[in-house]
Structure 1
């Protein structure tokens, strides 16, 4: 469609706020000063589900690695190398504590959450799955938690093993439908994979009501790309066998991820990226695998990325993850309150269809009369940076309009949300 947006200086209507949203529980605006990209920016960044802004300490960590005592870890006995080896071991231990893992040996550093999910498919699925086995998944999940299972199915079929991918539904509140999952767990189910916090819908899935009905033979894989760094995550409490995290969505640098592998699955894992530093060796009979986590960490690691992850986790611990989650819940409610009565706004599944104190900083919606892409462009003209489109969901790839996704973090304030909803209201008056 063709349209002429209002001039950026066109004032939005003044909306009286409900008094039921006190500022208590929010981080002060001064927290933005720790994030250089935001400290003096005029834009309002509302795309933290795509990537978070980086605190100054993380930026300094990356810079310091490249500027001082650059070396390779676990490759030498000179001080620069041994110091890095010890630092990476410390980051591994900190990561284990941060996500509630029982042992640092359950923590594998990867190139990202996508690499971590593919590692599950390649290091476990290729050898553990048998003809007729099943994987339960959601077609509404991120491509990184859908496409690896399709590639796995295709690869196994080329060797005469046929596995089934069984889809399950999502609820209007944006969570995995536990009742549907329970109905579809069968005698050949071997893996159940779920998004802990859905990247579009913002619904939180913990499978609490299913825990006692999932047989031991069914492994559970959580995609924690959105929950990590946004709310407390305890992989032991979740009953996870696998869990993946994206460092760049938790204040760290791109190119670093975490794969959690519960100790019980270690005997079933094979190297998926063998090379230097892989804990494996050649024998007279061929190839012998070693121990975790080196088993899955072949090649030179992303050393500055791993060090930056350690600094990011230190920053998150200093803020307190319960406080981070509370901040995002308050902002989510404020956002819903501001958008709910805007003419033409339609919420996707998620907190917009829930009740009470729901939501952890992700809300997606459409506006009648304008495509999501066009709306995102206009909002950017007014300084609001949001994600638009189908958000890497393969099942929605052919959708004509997609949606607008708003996502927050501790550097987002009530004023940011209020100004945003005022602007959407003003645009709705033009297009609806």
Structure 2
């Protein structure tokens, strides 16, 4: 934890788009917000669901429920076409080809698919993976699990940790210094789930051997900022639908075509595209190679509806709205005695922010502060935020505030006033 710099002299006035929801009628899109008195400030954990997403789930269960890719009757055929359309829409959303878009059970499932489908097949004794132990557990544990599995078969791989700077971003020079001829993958949080720092690895463009796979956890950036695979030069990337207005239990794994020939089947079984010959399983085409079993069909349809809502609202508008709220939140918290910010946008030299700010208040634990805030109607996340147990940041409990397009400046101002009152009482 690092202490905030000197207080700003004034609170910035937000642009008109940030004073209320950034799109006419946007608040009415989210039924839970129109019916609840509480202020929801935990969108990094999961976003509220707009009516079209809720309707998509209900419609699947209510009208012509069937399976996709199995039957030739009209119900099944129509559903198969809808899944194909959602895949194409997701591909367009991230600048990919449809066969590079794999539907998964979530971002965690996607990262484990990379570890088990690509890692088991391609990593050799002495190879290295660069990672941050301060990332979400889902971008740490799969690589540790992979290391343990390979060790059982006599292959030793190394997990090389790199630092995070005070902006909450991967320390690029530290990453560069740790790259060796044995480095096979660099995995990174595109938008950090606690610190709110954005890492693209752009500064390393041209300095990374193209044989090194780049893997991005886009769980927090998807649906919050424009994310384009070509700009990231990503080999793999994962998205969590429930953090981008979609339903829980659905995710997307992006896998660049240049890696397709390196993949083993994942979840082989029905609908996985594999076949048998005398040597055993033979992998089929992507994306079916990584999609064995029955799809989470209501979740995929909900993702399609979420993508339509995001398109109508506009990612640029969402990004600007979250940036304005982030700066407003920091400006409101900074003068409060006892407030300490974690690494993140509070230390940025320019106007930046992506809707995530974490902090502590002296004299009260993060857990207790979160409880008091919830009693007063403010719903925030507290604790270590799924940072791996036993890691270097596992004991850095904090309060995390995270916003989205439906969050208003009035809510942020009332929140910071509430924190100021609590801080004064515990000082």
Structure-2-length-normalised TM-score:
0.95
Alpha-carbon distance in 2 for matches of 1:17, 1:331: 15
Q: Higher RCO, 1 or 2 (CA under 8 Å, sep at least 6)?
A: 2
> How far apart are 1:382 and its partner, in Å?
0.6
Identify which of 181, 193, 196 aligns with 1:202: 196
Alpha-carbon distance in 2 for matches of 1:341, 1:71: 57
Contact 2:134-2:393 at 8 Å conserved across structures: no
* 1:43 paired to 2:38: yes
Contact 1:390-1:396 at 8 Å conserved across structures: no
Identify which of 219, 241, 244 aligns with 1:250: 244
Counterpart residue number, 1:3: none
Counterpart residue number, 1:285: 279
Question: CA-to-partner distance for each residue in 1:204-263, whole Å, 9 max, x for gaps?
Answer: 001111011010110000000000011110011110000000000000000000000000
Counterpart residue number, 2:225: 231
Counterpart residue number, 1:385: 379
| Aligned residue pairs, count | 415
Counterpart residue number, 1:408: 403
CA RMSD of aligned residues (A): 1.3
Q: Secondary structure at the match of 2:401?
A: strand
Alpha-carbon distance in 2 for matches of 1:421, 1:22: 19
Counterpart residue number, 2:349: 355
* 1:94 paired to 2:89: yes
Alpha-carbon distance in 1 for matches of 2:25, 2:190: 30
Alpha-carbon distance in 2 for matches of 1:29, 1:363: 26
Counterpart residue number, 1:7: none
Identify which of 5, 16, 26 aligns with 1:23: 16
> How far apart are 1:19 and its partner, in Å?
5.2
* 1:122 paired to 2:120: no
Counterpart residue number, 1:12: none
Alpha-carbon distance in 1 for matches of 2:75, 2:393: 48
Q: How does 1:366-381 map to 2 (within 5 A)?
A: 366-381=360-375
Contact 1:198-1:204 at 8 Å conserved across structures: yes
Question: CA-to-partner distance for each residue in 1:147-172, whole Å, 9 max, x for gaps?
Answer: 00000000000000000000000010
Listed as ranges, the gaps of 5+ residues in structure 2 are 1-8
Counterpart residue number, 1:174: 168
> How far apart are 1:85 and its partner, in Å?
0.5
Where has structure 1 moved over 4 Å in runs of 4 or more? none
- Cα distance 1:397–1:194, how it changes in 2: closer, same or farther (>3 A)? closer
Q: Secondary structure at the match of 1:165?
A: strand
Counterpart residue number, 2:29: 34
* 1:298 paired to 2:292: yes
Q: Secondary structure at the match of 2:81?
A: helix
Question: CA-to-partner distance for each residue in 1:258-316, whole Å, 9 max, x for gaps?
Answer: 00000000000011200100111011332211110000000000000000000000100
Counterpart residue number, 1:192: 186
Counterpart residue number, 2:311: 317
Contact 2:11-2:328 at 8 Å conserved across structures: no
- Cα distance 1:270–1:154, how it changes in 2: closer, same or farther (>3 A)? same
* 1:334 paired to 2:312: no
Identify which of 129, 138, 141 aligns with 1:144: 138
> How far apart are 1:18 and its partner, in Å?
3.1
Alpha-carbon distance in 1 for matches of 2:113, 2:279: 26
Q: Secondary structure at the match of 2:87?
A: helix
- Cα distance 1:164–1:113, how it changes in 2: closer, same or farther (>3 A)? same
Contact 2:172-2:204 at 8 Å conserved across structures: yes
Counterpart residue number, 1:63: 58
Contact 2:387-2:394 at 8 Å conserved across structures: no
